[in-house]
A and B are shown apart, each in its own frame.
Chain A
Amino acid sequence: MSKTLLDIKDLHVEIEEEGKAILKGLNLEVKAGEVHAIMGPNGAGKSTLASVVAGKGGYEITKGSIDFDGKDLLELDPDERAKEGLFLAFQYPVEIPGVSNINFLRTALNEIKEYRGEEQISAKDFMALVREKSKIVKLDAKLASRAVNEGFSGGEKKRNEIFQMAMLAPKLAILDETDSGLDIDALRIVADGVNQLKNKDNAIVIITHYQRLLDYIIPDYVHVLADGKIVKTGDKSLALELEEKGYDWLNEEKVG
C-alpha cells in the first residue's frame, strides 16, 4: 500500500478578522502516486484550501488537522513546508522585479538541501539542472534568467511555475488553477510537463474549474468542493458529468 502524503481531517478555516467561515469540515487524503482533482463552483473555498495548505497568512484554522508525510503541517512555516516537499503552483504567480529567477531558485534549492542535510549544489550542476528542467515546459533559457515573472505572459508565468516544480521536485504539488488563462497549446505544454514529473512516489492535486486540463492529466480521483467541504468524490467520469451538468444537480442530489 502506498503511503499517505497529505491527510486533511475535518478542516475548518475562517478568514482572520472577518471571521467568515470558508472551509467547514473538509477531509482529503492523498497517497503517493495519485492524482487528485478538486473542482467546484466559485467561492467554494478551492483557493483557500491551496493557500492554507501552503501556509499563507490571514486565515484562522478553527478546527481540524493537516498532516503531511507524517508531520503536522500547521506547525510549520511556509518555507518549512516547502522544505518538507510541498509545492504550490500559484493561480497568479507573483512578479518580483530585481530578483532573478535563477538566483532565487538556487537559493531555494540550497536552503532545501541544507534543511535536509544534503550537500549544496554547485553552480555547474545547477545550470545543468536548469537546462534539463526548462526543456520539460519548453521554457526559454532567457526567461529562466530574467527577473521572477516580470514581464512574462500569462502562459510563460504558468510554465515558469511548472519549471520551478521540476527544479524543486516536490513530494506533493498543488496546482491552483494552473489552466486558467492558458490557450490550448500552452495547456498541452503545461500538462505534458506535469505528466513527466509524475511518478509513483509523488502526488498531484489539481484545482480547476474546468474539465479540459483533466483531458491531459488524468486524475485518479475527482472531488467536488462546495460550501467548504468535499460533497462528492468520484473518478474521472465525474469531471465529465460536472462539465455537462454544472454543479447545481449536486445540491438537488443532496436534498433528494
Chain B
Amino acid sequence: MSTVSISEKVDSFIRHLDVSDIPFQQSARERLNRLDFPSSRDEYWKYTRLNKISKQTFQIYNDPDRINLTQHIISNDYLVVVNGYIREDLSQYSKLDFEIDFFSADRMSKNEKFDHFVNNNDIFNTLNSAYFEKAISVMIGENKVNKGPLQIIFVTKGENIIANNRLFIDAGKSSQSEVILTFVSKDALNCFTNQVTEAYLGENSRLTVHKVQAESNSNFHVSTEQIHQQKNSYCKINTVTLSGLLVRNNINIQVAGQNCETHMNGAVIGKDTQHVDNHTFVDHQVSNCFSNENYKYVLDDRSTGVFNGRVVVQKDAQVINAYQNNGNILLSGQASINSKPELEIYADDVKCSHGSTTGQLDEEAIFYLQTRGISAENAKKMLVSAFVDEVVGAIENPHVLEYIKATSQDIHGWSI
C-alpha cells in the first residue's frame, strides 16, 4: 500500500478553502496532494522565493459591497470580478460583440479546448482549477471584427483573500479583438491574485491583450497566460506592471500553425521591496513564424526583477524569426535584476536574437537636461519615460495608454 501525503505547506495553504463536488475541481484538489510550492532549487523559480505566499493562509470571500471603479473603466464593455467572483451588478456589456458566459467548472470543462493546454503539474494552475468559482468564457465568433475592446477589471478587496480568476477566450477563425485586463485593489491587504487565462486563437484570428497590474503594494500576483495559436494568427500581449509586492507572470505561447505572428511587450516600474518576475515561453512548433518580445524594467529602492525569456524552435520548424530584448535600468544601488534568455533551437534555418542590457541612468544626460533648467528629479523621470516608451508608447489603444499614465501618476507620483 502506498500513501502519498500532502505537503505541509500546501495543506496549511488550503486549510480555509472549500472545494466543490464538481469532478473537474475534485480531481484538481486530488492533484494538490502530490504537488508542492516550487523552491529556489527549481530552475524556473530560482530567483523568485515563494515563502511570502506559501506561508500564508488565504480565504475565499465573496464581498458584496458596491465599489466605485470609475477611474479604472476604460471601455464601453466591461466586466468586474471581485475576489474571483463575477459581479454582474457592477458590469456592463453588450452581448453583440463578445459572447460572454460565466460557467461553473462543470459546464466549462465540457468545452474540450478548456484546460487542454494548461500545465496541470503547476501548483498555481492547479489551485486555480480546484477553487475558481466561475470561469469567464469569452467566445468571439468566426469573422467577427470587434471595434471596441472588452475590459475585465479584477479587484482584490479585504485581508488575506485569494482570488482565483479563470478566463477562457476562444477567438474564432478570422476574428479580430482586443481584451484589456486590469488588476486593482480596494482596501486590500495581503491578498493573492491567482490568475489563469487561456486563449485559443483560431486560424487567421487576431487577438491583442493588454494587461495592467496595479494592485496594492502588499498584494501577491501569480498568473499564467496559456496561449495556443493556429495558422495565420496574430497574438500580441502587452504587460505593464506598476505595483504589487510579488508579481509573477507566466506567458506560455504554443505556436502550432504556420505564418503566425507573436508579440510580447512588457514594462515594469518597481520600487520599495517589490519583486516582479516575467517568464515568457514561445514554443515554435511549426515553420514560417515570427515572434518578437521586448521587456523593459525600471527598478528603484530595493526592488528586484526577473526576466526569463524562453524560445524553443522545434525540429523541422524552419524559417523562424524570433527576437528578444530585455533592457533594465536600476535607479538605486540596492535594486537588482536577473535576466536570462533561453534559446533552444533544434531547426537549422532560423534567425534568433536576444539582447539584454542593464545600466543606470546616463549622468551626462541628466546634467545636460539640468543645464537647460530641468530639475534633476524631472530629468530622471524624463529619461525613464523615454526608456520605457519603446514598450509603453507602442500600445496602440490611446485609452489604455492614458490609463497607464494616469495609474502610474497615482502610484508613482509621475506619469511614465
Rounded to whole angstroms, the CA-CA distance of A82 and B369 in the bound complex is: 10
Task: Tell me which of B362, B372, B383, B385 contacts A82 (CB under 8 A).
Answer: B372
Is there a chain A Cβ closer than 8 Å to B389's Cβ? Answer: yes
Query: By the criterion CB–CB under 8 Å, are B370 and A78 in contact?
Result: yes
**Stretch in A41-49, A63-71, A98-106, A199-207 with 4+ CB within 8 Å of B:** A98-106
Docked complex Cα distance between A97 and B365 (Å): 10
The secondary-structure label for the interface of chain B is helix
Q: How far is the CA of A90 from the CA of B371 in the complex (A)?
A: 10
User: Is the CB–CB distance between B369 and A109 below 8 Å?
Assistant: no
Q: Once the chains bind, are B375 and A97 in contact (CB under 8 Å)?
A: no
Q: Which residues of chain B are within 8 angstroms of A115 by Cβ–Cβ distance?
A: 373
Q: Which residues of B contact A98 (CB under 8 A)?
A: 383, 385-387, 389-390
Residues on the B chain within 8 Å of A97, using CB: 386
Chain A residues with CB below 8 A from B374, complex form: 79, 104, 107-108, 111
Alpha-carbon separation in the docked complex, A219 to B306 (Å): 58
For residue A56, CB closer than 8 A to chain B, the reply is yes
Known: A96-B386, A97-B386, A99-B382. A168 touches B373 (CB 8 A): yes
Contact of B370 among A79, A93, A164 (CB under 8 A): A79
Question: Which residue of A has the minimal Cβ distance to B368?
Answer: A94
- The answer on a CB contact under 8 Å between B372 and A104 is yes
The answer, among A56, A94, A112, for a CB contact under 8 Å with B373, is: A112
- Which of B362, B365, B371 sits near A87, CB closer than 8 Å? B371
Q: Does B376 contact A (CB under 8 A)?
A: yes
Instruction: Enumerate chain A residues within 8 angstroms of B370, measured Cβ to Cβ.
Output: 55, 77-79, 82
Chain B contacts for A112, CB-based, 8 A: 373
In the complex, chain A residues whose CB is within 8 Å of the CB of B371 = 54-55, 78-79, 81-82, 87-88, 90
Whether A79 and B389, one on each chain, are in contact in the complex, defined by CB atoms closer than 8 angstroms, is: no
Q: Is A83 an interface residue (CB 8 A)?
A: yes
Q: Which of B367, B387, B390 has the most CB of A within 10 A?
A: B367
The answer to whether B373 and A79 touch across the interface, beta carbons within 8 angstroms, is: yes
Q: Considering the chains assembled together, what is the distance between the CA atoms of A88 and B364 in angstroms?
A: 14
Contact digits for A141-179, partner B, Cβ 8 Å, 1 yes 0 no: 000000110000000000000001000100000000000
Query: A residues within 8 A CB of B363?
Result: 57
Contact assessment for A104 and B373 in the assembled complex, using a CB-CB cutoff below 8 Å: no
A90 in contact with B373 (CB, 8 Å): no
Residues of B contacting A79 in the complex (Cβ-Cβ under 8 angstroms): 370-376, 379
Report whether A107 and B367 are in contact in the complex, using a CB–CB cutoff of 8 Å.
no
User: Please, how many angstroms separate the alpha-carbon atoms of A148 and B368 in the complex?
Assistant: 10
Give A98 to B364 CA distance when docked, in angstroms: 15
User: With A and B bound together, what is the CA distance between A164 and B362 in angstroms?
Assistant: 21
Interface flags, A91-130, vs B, CB<8A=1, else 0: 0011011110000110111011001000000000000000
> How many Å from the CB of A119 to the closest CB on chain B?
16
A93 proximity list for chain B (CB < 8 A): 368
Shortest Cβ gap from B83 to chain A (Å) = 39
Interchain CB contact under 8 A, B368 and A107: no
A interface, how many residues as a size bin? 20 to 34
A186 to chain B, nearest CB (A): 21
C-alpha gap A142/B70 in the complex (Å)? 40
Count chain B CB atoms within 10 A of each CB in A83, A88, A107, A109 and give the residue with the most: A107
Query: Which interface residue of A54, A79, A148 has the most chain B CB atoms within 10 A?
Result: A79
B104 interface residue, CB < 8 Å from A? no
Residues of A within 8 A of B362 (CB): 94, 96
Do the beta carbons of B373 and A77 come within 8 Å of each other? no
Q: Tell me which residues across on chain A come within 8 A of B385, comparing CB atoms.
A: 98
The answer to whether B382 touches A104 (Cβ under 8 A) is: yes
B342 to chain A, nearest CB (A): 28
Interchain CB contact (< 8 A) of B365 among A54, A55, A94, A111: A94
Q: Which residue of A lies closest to B364 (CB)?
A: A94
Contact with A along B210-246 (1 / 0, CB 8 A): 0000000000000000000000000000000000000
- Tell me, in angstroms, the Cα distance from A160 to B387 when the chains sit together: 22
- B367/A108 in contact, CB under 8 A: no
C-alpha spacing A98/B389, complex, angstroms? 7
CA A105 to CA B371, docked complex, whole Å: 11
Residues on B with C-beta less than 8 A from A83 are 373
Residue of B nearest to A84 (CB): B373
Q: Which residues of A contact B373 (CB under 8 A)?
A: 79, 82-83, 108-109, 111-112, 115, 168
Task: Tell me, rounded to whole Å, the shortest Cβ–Cβ distance linking A69 to chain B.
Answer: 15
With A107-B374, A108-B374 known as contacts, the answer to whether A96 contacts B365 (CB < 8 A) is: yes
Given contacts A78-B370, A83-B373, A96-B386, are A107 and B378 in contact (CB under 8 A)? yes
- Contact code string B343-382 (vs A, CB < 8 Å = 1, else 0): 0000000000000000000111101111111111011001
Instruction: Tell me the smallest distance from the CB of A84 to a CB of chain B, in Å.
Output: 9
Shortest distance from the beta carbon of B389 to any chain A beta carbon, whole Å:
5
Max count, chain A CB within 10 A of own CB: residue among B371, B375, B383, B390? B371
B372 partner, pick from A55, A56, A77, A108, beta carbons under 8 A: A108
Q: Which residues of A contact B379 (CB under 8 A)?
A: 79
Q: Which residues of B contact A55 (CB under 8 A)?
A: 370-371
Cβ–Cβ contact A96 & B369, under 8 A: yes
User: Which 7 pairs across A and B sit closest by C-beta, in order of nearness?
Assistant: A98-B386, A82-B373, A78-B370, A108-B372, A94-B368, A112-B373, A79-B370
A-B contact pairs, 27 of them (CB 8 A): A55-B371, A77-B370, A77-B375, A78-B367, A78-B371, A79-B372, A79-B374, A79-B376, A79-B379, A81-B371, A82-B371, A83-B373, A93-B368, A94-B362, A96-B362, A96-B369, A96-B383, A98-B385, A98-B387, A99-B369, A99-B383, A104-B369, A107-B374, A108-B374, A111-B373, A147-B386, A168-B372
Given pairs A82-B371, A147-B386, 19 additional interface contacts (CB within 8 A): A54-B371, A55-B370, A77-B375, A78-B376, A79-B370, A79-B375, A88-B371, A90-B368, A93-B368, A94-B364, A94-B368, A96-B369, A97-B386, A98-B385, A98-B389, A99-B386, A104-B369, A107-B382, A108-B373
